Structure 1
């Protein structure tokens, strides 16, 4: 059995970069969909009086959902690569 170490290293490197990037994008999605405004005089870490995502700006929410869509597209592409491989 002959192992192509260069190809194995490339697969490892690309997998590592894509994994770290997807974790970052998913984290941005979480932050974008869960951010609430800080009110004046409210202690740091206190829960805002708004319910649900009413305090989240529309732009942040939209970008958060776009991050989720990017993650779903990358997962679908990976499944496509495995199936049609």
Structure 2
């Protein structure tokens, strides 16, 4: 590996304060659906759920903090959220 290549940061599990940011279409009930999906896979800190709309109101960003247990859990959360059709990105 050269000096200019950057390694992806390694996630240490369990991680009790892992941030998940979800960018979705703005829509009635989408926030609740996103939270329900994430709660199926992980414990969510309900006090640290933040919602912001884009300037034009077309998109909503929801940030949650979860207890991340392993890479498979994160993959499953990402897959199920992306399958909704209204989620565009999970970070």
TM-score, normalised via structure 1 length? 0.27
Bigger helix share: 1
Bigger strand share: 2
Name the larger-Rg structure: 1
TM-score, normalised via structure 2 length? 0.26
Structure number with higher relative contact order (C-alpha < 8 Å, ≥ 6 residues apart): 2
